């Protein structure tokens, strides 16, 4: 990996050399799904992109030296309302906690998300915390912000709120490059009389008597106010990233890392999260812990369209990962997870992607030319490492892997090198399990085809080949190096 890993840092708007704070404890946080409904194909893009980065970091620094945290957002007003609707009686009589009710209503969508991303070839993150399991940590950070003069308690039309004071942070807007004084009221900045500044955002919000919430008390200007409520959107990621990338692992960090408390290496997510979500995460974390940085490198993947149009239910082109995998909604057929993954990786992560049937068909044709095999102890090829080390250039990496596939098809001794390289992208074809009876039946047809070719009965030889191809069995013709005679190998492609 000549030259080392370079990543585009949204914070500085430049490609930088990646230098982890502690090479023995590389730390990455990525914003995960809100488990109100099934994940759509747009949600799949950051999962795939940062899975490739996770694989690359593990290869570079060691599998046991990388901590990857991807959260589950299960604190959401829609989720809370559904929990109250379905389990309000049990919550009221104390037989079920709010967290248990939320787990009950989100269990199916969370399980489906895990099944979907596994089908896309994604590794499990090191830690996958739920927001509901980190409410105390959120409350603690909010109180720190109050104590340090970065937040205040106010009363709005819906009760008490704790709000972050954006004016208290001199460099608020460092990520999005938005100046506070230039921000105008608009779709994403609510102007309310109880706010000191229109850009101030909610850290904690009071719940009505009929709404779910958690008990909390906040002290501001020597007055303690109990606020039964729920957290704002942004505070959960500040709390979870700090807990799992600092508090719970700080004892094993290097002296250099301990000298940069509450800071970690990489924070990732979609381009749409830059403002306000990631901007406000930075504000919360930097002000709560008196730091200049929350994460050293901020990475964001580009937007996704479907067949040239913005994906939306009103456009009729909204499609979930599960619908692509298990139904014929998109393109009149089901799509294998490895095809969906490769189609994503054929566009650079920072570029917009047009997710289309044409692109899926292109990815499938490419995969059909890649052999199945085992890497063993073989390391990925330098060409693939070099491409991925250049800001995750998966386009160049896919091209390099394809060249290795062609070489492996011509020379089976090169198969482990191809397999190791493809595995770094998470798209290594696997040999299908074949029963002895099926193997014998296929081999009999292969032998028959060879006899037909010797007899120059090309029509019958083609018929046998096509019959096997229709059953997902691909034939590969070659020559015996010693005798020069035609030999045919086969593998199950699906």
DSSP structure string for 286-317: HHHHT-S-SEEEEEEE--EEETTEE--TTTT-
Look at residue 407 and tell me whether its pLDDT is greater than 70.
Answer: yes
Q: How far apart are CA 494 and CA 492, in angstroms?
A: 6
Give the number of other CB atoms < 10 A from CB of residue 320: 22
Look at residue 189 and tell me whether its pLDDT is greater than 50.
Answer: no
Look at residue 80 and tell me whether its pLDDT is greater than 90.
Answer: no
Segment (H or E) for 351: none
Residue 191: the pLDDT is 60
Q: How far apart are CA 339 and CA 324, in angstroms?
A: 10
Residue 481: the pLDDT is 77
User: What is the value of pTM for the model shown?
Assistant: 0.88
Band (212; pLDDT cuts 50, 70, 90)? confident
Lowest-pLDDT range of 72-81, 177-186, 277-286, 315-324: 177-186
Look at residue 432 and tell me whether its pLDDT is greater than 70.
Answer: no
Look at residue 188 and tell me whether its pLDDT is greater than 60.
Answer: no
Segment 12-29 mean pLDDT: 98
Residue 183: the pLDDT is 63
Look at residue 421 and tell me whether its pLDDT is greater than 70.
Answer: yes
Taking alpha carbons only, the member of 448, 427, 351, 325 closest to residue 384 is 427
424 near 58, Cβ under 8 Å? no
Residue 484: the pLDDT is 82
Residue 185: the pLDDT is 43
Lowest-pLDDT range of 63-72, 96-105, 131-140: 96-105
Higher pLDDT pick, 137 / 184 = 137
Average per-residue pLDDT in the chain? 93
Segment 269-273 mean pLDDT: 97
Segment 354-373 mean pLDDT: 96
């Amino acid at each position: 990996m000549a030259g080392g890993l370079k990543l585009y840092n949204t914070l500085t708007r430049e490609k930088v050399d990646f230098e982890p704070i502690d090479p023995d404890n590389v730390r990455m946080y990525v914003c995960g799904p809100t488990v109100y409904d099934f994940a759509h194909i747009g949600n799949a893009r950051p999962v795939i992109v940062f899975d490739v980065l996770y694989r690359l970091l593990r290869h570079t620094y060691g599998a046991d030296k990388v901590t990857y945290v991807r959260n589950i957002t299960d604190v959401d007003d829609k989720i809370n309302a559904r929990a109250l609707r379905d389990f309000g009686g049990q919550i009221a009589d104390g037989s079920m906690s709010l967290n248990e009710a939320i787990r009950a209503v989100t269990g199916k969508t969370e399980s489906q998300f895990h099944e979907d991303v596994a089908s896309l070839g994604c590794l499990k993150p090191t830690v996958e915390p739920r927001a509901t399991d980190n409410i105390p940590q959120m409350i603690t950070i909010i109180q720190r912000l109050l104590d340090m003069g970065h937040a205040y308690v106010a009363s709005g039309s819906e009760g008490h709120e704790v709000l972050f004071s954006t004016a208290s942070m001199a460099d608020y807007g460092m990520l999005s490059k938005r100046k506070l004084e230039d921000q105008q009221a608009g779709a994403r900045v609510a102007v309310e009389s109880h706010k000191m500044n229109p850009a101030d955002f909610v850290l904690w919000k009071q719940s009505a008597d009929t709404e779910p919430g958690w008990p909390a008390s906040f002290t501001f200007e020597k007055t303690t106010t109990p606020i039964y409520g729920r957290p704002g959107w942004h505070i959960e990621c500040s709390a979870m990233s700090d807990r799992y990338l600092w508090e719970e692992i700080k004892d094993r960090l290097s002296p250099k890392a301990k000298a940069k408390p509450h800071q970690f290496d990489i924070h990732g997510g979609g381009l749409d999260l830059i403002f306000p979500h990631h901007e406000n995460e930075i504000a919360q974390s930097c002000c709560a812990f008196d730091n200049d940085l929350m994460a050293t490198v901020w990475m964001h993947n580009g937007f996704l369209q479907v067949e040239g149009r913005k994906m939306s239910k009103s456009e009729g082109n909204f499609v979930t990962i599960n619908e692509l995998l298990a139904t014929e909604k998109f393109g009149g057929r089901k799509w294998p997870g490895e095809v969906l993954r490769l189609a994503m990786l054929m566009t650079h992560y920072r570029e917009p992607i047009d997710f289309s049937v044409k692109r899926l068909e292109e990815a499938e044709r490419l995969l059909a030319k890649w052999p199945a095999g085992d890497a063993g102890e073989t390391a990925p090829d330098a060409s693939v490492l070099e491409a991925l080390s250049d800001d995750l250039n998966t386009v160049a990496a896919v091209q390099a892997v394809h060249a290795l596939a062609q070489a492996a098809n011509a020379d089976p001794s090169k198969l482990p090198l191809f397999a190791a390289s493809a595995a770094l992208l998470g798209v290594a074809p696997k040999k299908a399990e074949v029963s002895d009876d099926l193997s014998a039946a296929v081999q009999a047809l292969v032998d028959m085809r060879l006899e037909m070719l010797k007899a120059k009965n090309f029509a019958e030889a083609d018929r046998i080949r096509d019959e096997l191809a229709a059953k997902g069995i691909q034939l590969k013709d070659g020559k015996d190096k010693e005798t020069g005679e035609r030999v045919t190998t086969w593998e199950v492609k699906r």
